[in-house]
Amino acid sequence: MTIIVTGGAGFIGSNFIFHMLSVHPGYRIVCVDKLTYAGNLSTLESVMDNSNFSFRKLDICDRDDIDKLFSEEKPDIVVNFAAESHVDRSIDNPEVFLRTNIIGTSVLMDASRKYGVKRYHQVSTDEVYGDLPLDRPDLFFTEDTPVRTSSPYSSSKAGADLLVLAYHRTYGLPVTISRCSNNYGPYHFPEKLIPLMIINALADKPLPVYGNGKNVRDWLYVEDHCKAIDLIIHNGRAGEVYNVGGHNEMANIDIVKLICKELGKPESLITYVADRKGHDMRYAIDPAKIHRELGWLPETKFSDGIRKTIRWYLDNEKWWKDIISGEYQSYYEKMYGGR
Ligand code: NAD
Ligand code: DAU
């Protein structure tokens, strides 16, 4: 079994690679990543010498390179994590989101059709459903909730999802889509809420909370997301969407206060800053379908997961300090420069 994992030098993709190599030791994993600012090859250092693992520095939008890759590797399964993933960056500069998230998806699916891939899996997001009001805790996103996006990021992910479903209907490509809530855990890039707050708090720097801090996200430990994708690519029904989430809703401000408490830092570090434009109020996933069909349930409680995550950032200072200094971008040259 050969699996192409795109975006594997990023947060969730790298955790997925670790999961797959440990749970399916007979599988070959080919990681494809362009190594944008969000890609960090040093994250994959521990698997670089695994004979079942290989890395290819490629842009998923490059049709010729992707075609050549598929002709050489003959993948059975493709799991597409590669994306521009940060909402704030999409508000600043939407174009690269449209290119990578939509065009890149079509390039991968065209190669998947041409080379007879048995399963193309698109890693999508709960953000395609837009947001829910804070005063209706009874409402959740199901797979039938209409797509109704807020940001250029979520619009690009929704565009890709529609294209994936169209390739299933029009060409019969065996696709699946997972729409997951906010992940947290090791190797989360330091510009996202949880790692940013941990790292700033450690340095006694201000903790910038957008708006009034009452926006709610539904947090899932990254390993639980990886297990869900593993189940979907093996047992999920082609043409189907699966929501993935942990029924773990938290207001941003409560997360930031919890991080302060765990690190013994004063809440006076919290600084309210201008709100994100178009800021979604609340995300909340109903994961009943993936539980019913595939038996998936989240395993890590938030109280345990957040402690493990904070511990990881304390124990892996070099990983995030290299990102802050920019040093991580020279890792590819060091690893591959002489090869
Ligand atoms: P990330 O930003 O940490 O990683 C993205 C990776 O994709 C990076 O390694 C980057 O170098 C690579 N990449 C970007 N453009 C590329 C291109 N053109 N060609 C090849 N590689 C490219 O993202 P993440 O948080 O790990 O998210 C992974 C996927 O999961 C994304 O599709 C995202 O939409 C989705 N998702 C994320 C979350 C979350 O909470 N982080 C939740 C649900 C879904
Ligand atoms: O819901 C899934 C999505 O979760 C994924 O599709 C995205 O790729 C991923 O980045 C994440 O998006 P969010 O916008 O929810 O994550 P972010 O960490 O950027 O922000 C989480 C919340 O915290 C959000 O309400 C904005 C707020 N925030 C964020 C930052 C970076 C702050 O208040 N201050 C900050 O400095």
What value does the mean pLDDT take over residues 14-43?
97
Residue 100 per-residue DSSP state: I
Is the confidence at residue 38, as pLDDT, over 90?
A: yes
* Measured distance CA(291)–CA(9) in Å, rounded: 29
Q: What percent of the chain is predicted at pLDDT more than 70?
A: 99
Give Rg (Cα) of the chain: 19
Instruction: Extract the tokens encoding 50.
Output: 């695994």
Q: How far is the CA of 72 from the centre of ligand 2 (A)?
A: 37
Going by pLDDT thresholds of 50, 70 and 90, the confidence category of residue 338 is low
Look at ligand 1, atom 44, and give the residue with the nearest C-alpha.
125
Is the confidence at residue 70, as pLDDT, over 90?
A: yes
Residues with CB under 6 A from ligand 1: 6-7, 9-13, 33-36, 38-39, 59-61, 81-85, 100, 104, 123, 125, 157, 180, 182-183, 189
Structure-model confidence comparison of residues 246 and 143, the more confident one: 143
| pLDDT of res. 339 | 62
Residue of 11, 156, 332 with the most ligand 1 atoms within 8 Å of its CB, for mutation:
11
Residue of 5, 30, 36, 219 with the most ligand 1 atoms within 8 Å of its CB, for mutation:
36
What value does the mean pLDDT take over residues 303-313?
98
Q: Does any ligand 2 atom lie closer than 6 A to the CB of residue 276?
A: yes
* Measured distance CA(105)–CA(122) in Å, rounded: 8
**Which of the following is catalytic: 126, 131, 223, 280?**
126
Interacting residues of 301 by C-beta distance below 8 A, sequence separation 6+ = none
Helix (H, G, I), strand (E, B) or coil at 115: coil
What value does the mean pLDDT take over residues 226-250?
97
Q: What percent of the chain is predicted at pLDDT more than 90?
A: 96
Residue 27 per-residue DSSP state: -
Q: Is 283 a catalytic residue?
A: no
What value does the mean pLDDT take over residues 11-15?
98
Q: How many CB atoms lie within 10 A of CB 16?
A: 27
Closest of 21, 75, 57 to residue 339, by C-alpha: 57
What value does the mean pLDDT take over residues 280-284?
98
Domains of the chain: 2-185+219-248+278-302 (3.40.50.720)
Segment (H or E) for 11: helix 11-23
* Measured distance CA(209)–CA(253) in Å, rounded: 7
* Measured distance CA(222)–CA(184) in Å, rounded: 6
Is the confidence at residue 50, as pLDDT, over 80?
A: yes
* Measured distance CA(2)–CA(25) in Å, rounded: 12
How would you classify residue 241: left for phi > 0, otherwise alpha for psi between -120 and 50, otherwise beta?
Answer: beta
| pLDDT of res. 332 | 76
Is the confidence at residue 285, as pLDDT, over 80?
A: yes
